[in-house]
């Protein structure tokens, strides 16, 4: 099994860490049992989610959440039950902002939620990552996958900035890039509320100073960020700075209209969501006194 090394590492880490970490694993186990899922005889849901694999692999992201980024959430109770689209800003070169939102909804929301990520089309081409993303609840971001998940009353997360947002350079931090319109058409087609999310902290986890586009094309990647630590420090340079994350959840937004409307009509609705997130980011930055605490 491709995930076997990750599961073995998680078990080894669990055995070696202090009692408080064992308590964290126990909390993961307990909360996972509270999540309603339709599993087949082999323990998988219709999209490949495997609660036992998710439970085993979550310890690593939970440690990042609690001890490295020391995540602080605000108004997570605004996430309604049932189907919902979580729409957030995106940054940090590595999608740790997505992981932290997922972990926040698992640990802080009541009842706990498994948030379904909409992965980029190139992610399944990465060895072992393709299985990891599916087993832990994410899917390739096709329209059909998104509609099916929402009709199943799932929480789906989307980053309308896409790669444009995640691979911003440091001097572009907290400047929202162009939003795609796909999420709004989904919301209209499935009558799904949108919860805007602002993540403060992710922009500084990796200080990107350039994007080596020729190298990215050679490797078949959408971008190859050059940061103040990577590639100069090798794999150690991938380690994010221990900035403090603050995640703000906004009031749900509902929209009506025809999902097949012209781009300019849909675009007006998209801009309302973008403006809400921009305001939340500005408020979060104004309240922040330090990058690290």
Q: Is the pLDDT of residue 28 over 90?
A: yes
Distance (Å, whole) CA 209 – CA 194: 33
Q: Please give the distance of CA 178 from its chain centroid, rounded to a whole number.
A: 18
Distance (Å, whole) CA 133 – CA 54: 9
Distance (Å, whole) CA 15 – CA 13: 5
The pLDDT value given to residue 2: 47
Residue 141's pLDDT band, with cuts at 50, 70 and 90, is: confident
Backbone angle region of 110, left / alpha / beta, with phi > 0 → left and psi within -120 to 50 → alpha: beta
Residues linked to residue 84 through DSSP beta bridges, in sequence order: 155
Report how many helices (DSSP H) and strands (DSSP E) the chain contains, helices first.
Answer: 10, 9
Question: If you average pLDDT over each of 19-23, 183-187, 225-229, which comes out highest?
Answer: 183-187
What backbone torsions phi and psi does residue 229 show, to the nearest 5 degrees?
-120, -20
Nearest alpha-carbon partner for 111 in 84, 137, 79: 79
Q: Are strands 225-227 and 208-211 parallel, antiparallel or unpaired?
A: antiparallel
Window from 133-147, 187-201, 225-239, 266-280 with minimum mean pLDDT? 133-147
The pLDDT value given to residue 288: 96
143: Cβ contacts below 8 Å, ≥ 6 apart: 182, 186
Domains of the chain, residue spans = 68-203+242-287, 206-239
The pLDDT value given to residue 121: 63
Q: Higher model confidence: residue 38 or residue 275? A: 275
Q: For residue range 212-241, what is the model confidence (pLDDT) as tens digits?
A: 889 888 887 778 889 999 999 988 999 999
Q: Is the dihedral of CA 72, 198, 31, 120 positive or negative?
A: negative
The pLDDT value given to residue 48: 85
Q: Which residue has the tokens 């990520």?
A: 117
The pLDDT value given to residue 168: 92
Specify the 3-state DSSP secondary structure of 247. strand
The pLDDT value given to residue 146: 94
């Amino acid at each position: 099994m491709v995930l076997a090394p990750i599961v073995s590492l998680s078990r080894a880490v669990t055995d070696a860490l202090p009692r408080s970490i064992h308590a964290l694993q126990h909390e993961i186990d307990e909360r996972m049992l509270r999540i309603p899922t339709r599993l087949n005889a082999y323990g998988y849901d219709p999209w490949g989610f495997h609660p036992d694999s998710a439970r085993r692999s979550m310890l690593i992201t939970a440690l990042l959440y609690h001890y490295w980024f020391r995540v602080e959430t605000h108004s997570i109770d605004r996430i309604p039950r049932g189907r919902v689209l979580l729409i957030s800003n995106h940054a940090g070169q590595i999608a740790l902002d997505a992981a932290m939102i997922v972990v926040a909804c698992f640990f802080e929301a009541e009842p706990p939620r498994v948030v379904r990520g909409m992965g980029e089309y190139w992610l399944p081409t990465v060895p072992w990552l393709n299985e990891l993303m599916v087993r832990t609840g994410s899917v390739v971001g096709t329209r059909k996958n998104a509609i099916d998940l929402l009709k199943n009353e799932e929480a789906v997360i989307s980053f309308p900035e896409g790669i444009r947002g995640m691979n911003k350079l440091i001097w572009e931090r907290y400047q929202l890039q162009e939003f795609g319109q796909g999420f709004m058409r989904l919301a209209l087609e499935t009558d799904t509320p949108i919860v805007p999310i602002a993540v403060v902290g992710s922009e500084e986890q990796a200080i990107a100073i350039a994007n080596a586009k020729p190298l990215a094309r050679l490797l078949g990647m959408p971008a190859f960020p050059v940061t103040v630590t990577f590639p100069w420090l090798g794999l150690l340079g991938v380690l994010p700075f221990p900035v403090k994350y603050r995640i703000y959840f906004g009031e749900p937004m509902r929209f009506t209209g025809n999902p097949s409307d012209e781009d300019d009509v849909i675009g007006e609705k998209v801009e309302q969501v973008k403006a809400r997130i921009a305001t939340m980011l500005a408020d979060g930055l104004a309240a922040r006194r330090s990058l690290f605490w």
